[in-house]
Structure 1
Amino acid sequence: MFACAAVALVAVLWWATAGALDRQTDAAIRADAIALSERWREAGNTGLVEAIEERLAVDVENEAIYLMMEAGTGRRIAGNLDSWPKGQPETGPWFRTRVLHDGLAVDARLHRLELPGLRLLVGRDETERTELRRLLTEGVVWASGAVVLFALAGAWLIRHALQARMRPAFTTTAAIAGGDLSSRVALSGSGDEFDRLAQTLNIMLDRIGTLMEGVRGVSDAIAHDLRTPIARARAKLEDALATSEDEESLRATVEQGIADLDGISRIFQALLRIAEAEAGARRAAFAPLDLVHVLADAAEIYEATAEARGQRLETDLPDSLPMVGDRDLLLQAVANLLDNAIKFTPSGGAVLLSAAATSVGIEVTVADDGPGLSLEDRAHAGERFFRADKARATPGSGLGLSLVRAVAHLHGGEVSLVDAVPQRVPPGLRVVIRLPQG
């Protein structure tokens, strides 16, 4: 691109110099020919001869060329050429040729005029202009060659510099392709575009590493947490097949095995919902909704469960909380929180579901009178299959809070866990979901 631009510039300069000289020469010859034609119309042949002799007399640079001849006989009448140039086309008024001018063969630019009974040549000696044009052309050629060399050298330097700056990225990607996921792109410290690209790549690699660790953790957790119920269901079925004395006991064992397998299926469904939420696959289902209706439906579903356990499910909801989101996922998240709260609240306790609009969005809170969570357990709450020591004896898979966090992040929100009443023993647990309202 640099070479093309420079060559174009040189070509324009050549056209503006050598081309301008040609145009000036043609303009001078044309003006001279028109003036001689007017003189002939005014004074005839005698006036034309006098005009030619006057022009030759004042031609200090000896560039003007004239020839006036009789059309029929070819007799020379006036001018500084001895004869009409030979071998020239008879068509067209303009031509270039070599003529004998003052005893020297020179290049000339000539214009032919046909007058009644006369033939007239008007021209200019182009020896100096030809030499200047040659010098200009040589300069253009040499300049263009230098431009091409500089362009090639510049291209090589730029390519070398780019390769040097991109080499850390190439090295890192090659190492990652070879299986070394710990490799990161080195920064030069200049803070330029390449450093910003390297930082972005490193952030991406860190994110990939976190996801890979999560996948390995999920795989290990699935293998650990599902192996026991699957083995238990298989052992029960084998024992029933070997020891059942009647059809009724065999049927009961099979039904228990089906219930265990349904529990395993629910775990897989929860994992799929978490994966969909984390991947953003459910954003297509986003639609305007009133969150108060979703919360009221969740409270209605679990109110009977709370009453059956001797608990109170209380609500504190505003008239309306409009937002945009996935109604089913939001309902599932709130249902998980209510299920956990009811599960860990003792008989006679209370569970509070509340919501309010804040300056930054919407806050949904579920508070209970249960044992709460230690600071160490809160740091791991939300990880797949994580269960605190106090929850080992209660049924569950450790996926409830994981789904809640995934749903909150899908909606651009966050989840926090704090003590419900810090001064009380046990303090209980308050889970707050903060969601944007827009």
Structure 2
Amino acid sequence: MAPSLSLGPPRLLKSAGFRFALLFAAMFASAAIALVAVLWWATAGALDRQTDAAVRADAIALAERWREAGATGLAEAIEERLAVDVENEAIYLLTEAEGGRRLAGNLDRWPAVPAEEGAWFRTRVLHDGFAAEARLHRLELPGLRLLVGRDESEREQLRRLLTEGVFWASGAVVLFALMGAWLLRHALQARMRPVFATTAAIAGGNLGSRVALSGRGDEFDRLAQTLNTMLERIGTLMEGVRGVSDAIAHDLRTPIARARAKLEDALSEAPDEPALRATVEQGIADLDAISRIFQALLRIAEAEAGARRAAFAPLDLSLVLADAAEIYEVAAEARGQHFATDLPPQLELVGDRDLLLQAVVNLLDNAIKFTPPGGTVQLSARRVAKGIEILVADDGPGLAPDDRSHAGERFFRADKARATPGSGLGLSLVQAVAHLHAGELRLEDAVAGRTPPGLRVVLLLPSP
């Protein structure tokens, strides 16, 4: 048993809308968090860089003072800086390298920091009797050790505030991203709901259901229009199938019944073997005609379904038309008709050679069949702006305007053609071949105002 197809909304993890929404949320959250991180780096990071730059400049200036005035001048410079430090952020300590005796500064002792920390480090120090976080830079001078830094208590508090702000902002970003994802998924489901409803109705047997359009003209409306066009095409094909079935049942019932009746009569009433043989041969001929009808129907179905599109290849249409003309020129002469051609030396086209030849053969067969002796059958081709036109004209009775709209229908025969042998499938195949090649079929009077007007069939094939 085939697995059943659920037409309802899919489960969350299997929902394409949920995946799209999740992707949107991830992208939105990533972008927002990256923005917040950049802002944090531009503020808290800028404070750190500003502090390091100030400490480095101060340390370089003190080292220059030591080179100019020695340890005494260096100690005086430190005291001067401490005296003018209104904000009480500067940290200095000058000690002897041996023994660690304090010479100047506002720290009581050298911080207990391992040597592997390097020249730059952070630590807690006792600064004017208060514990504080400090950013320090260590300098080793001959016989001296110098420590230059800044109190970062206020900056650390500001950094904590910024970090908390980043945390809460990131949480808000994630929340808004999830809300946006939910809204996006809800919007996608709302826009896809008409498609779900239509497919469910079609699955339930309502083949006339169509996807409703929102009128916005967006991608969903274009998808709905494409689906509706597809459904219209499917409906047309199904109507064609039903029409073919009805036509076969109606038009083939008579010849099959006639062939069966002939065979039964011959079986029961044939006076001798030659008469029985003649009747059987006539029955075989009738069955061959029925077989040809089925073959024509098969070609039409293949052309209408596009099954022959794989056979498309570049070809010279002039050669195809020349082959058809060679076949029917003899037939026209045998019926006392004049066969005229006007074909260019070359017509490049991409298509199915066999089907194009069959279509032209059908047109020529019809033209010769309805043209009286002494009449003219014309086959010509030309290149026009839209592609290539194939024209077949005759001097027959023509076709009434009311009948032209039905000429492409299977088994249709005009009143004037009832007495002429045929199945009514010739123009149906030509029209199917034209549609397969994205072309069109037109029926016109061969000579306007003449009686009879004749018929001109124009087969337009677009260029590749």
Fold equivalence (TM over 0.5): yes
The 3 A distance-change label for structure 1 pair 437 and 45 is closer
Q: How does 1:20-419 map to 2 (within 5 A)?
A: 20-86=46-112, 88-91=113-116, 92-241=118-267, 247-280=273-306, 281-282=308-309, 284-291=311-318, 293-309=319-335, 311-324=336-349, 325-419=351-445
Q: Is the alpha carbon distance of 1:282 and 1:236 closer, same or farther for their aligned partners in structure 2, counting shifts above 3 Å?
A: farther
CA RMSD of aligned residues (A): 2.6
* C-alpha distance 128-376 of structure 1, shift in aligned 2 (>3 A): same
Give the Cα separation in 1 of the matches to 2:461 and 2:221: 35
2:421 counterpart SS class: coil
Code of the residue aligned with 1:312 in structure 2: it is Q
1:245 CA displacement:
6.2
Q: Is the 1:226–1:264 contact (alpha carbons within 8 Å) kept by the matching residues of 2? A: yes
- Give the conservation status (yes or no) of the 8 Å contact 2:445–2:455: yes
Task: Output the CA distance in 2 between the equivalents of 1:193 and 1:421.
Answer: 49
**What is the identity, as a one-letter code, of the residue corresponding to 1:313?**
H
Percentage identity across paired residues of the two chains: 79
Q: What is the CA–CA distance in structure 1 between the aligned matches of 2:277 and 2:453, rounded to whole Å?
A: 45
Indicate if the aligned counterparts of 1:321 and 1:357 stay in contact, CA closer than 8 A. Answer: no
Distance 1:146 1:436 in 2: 60
Q: Does 1:5 align with 2:43?
A: no
| Number of residue pairs aligned between Structure 1 and Structure 2 | 435
Contact 2:440 2:460 in 1 (8 A): yes
Shift of 1:220: 2.2
1:243 to partner: Cα distance: 5.3
User: Is the contact between residue 344 and residue 382 of structure 2 (CA under 8 Å) also seen in structure 1?
Assistant: no
Distance in 2 of aligned mates of 1:82 and 1:99: 9
> C-alpha offsets along residues 41-79 of structure 1, whole Å, 9 cap, x if unaligned?
333221221121121112111111111222332222211
Counterparts in 2 of 1:355 and 1:44: CA distance versus 1, 3 Å: closer
C-alpha displacement of 1:129: 0.3
Unaligned runs of 5+ residues in structure 2 are 1-26
Report the CA distance between 1:206 and its aligned residue: 1.6
**Cα distance, 1:241 vs structure 2:** 4.9
Gaps of 5+ in 1: none
| Native 8 Å contact 1:113 1:119 kept in 2 | yes
Contact 2:333 2:339 in 1 (8 A): no
Is the 1:276–1:282 Cα contact (8 Å) retained in structure 2?
no
For residues 287 and 327 of structure 1, what CA distance do their matches in structure 2 show? Answer: 9
- Bigger shift: residues 30-39 or 247-256: 247-256
With over 3 angstroms needed to count, the CA separation of the structure-2 counterparts of 1:437 and 1:27, relative to structure 1, is: closer
Structure 1 residues 188-208: Cα deviation after superposition (integer angstroms, max 9, x where no partner): 233333333322322222222
CA contact (8 A) 2:137 2:147 kept: yes
Query: What is the CA-CA distance between 1:338 and the residue it aligns to?
Result: 1.7
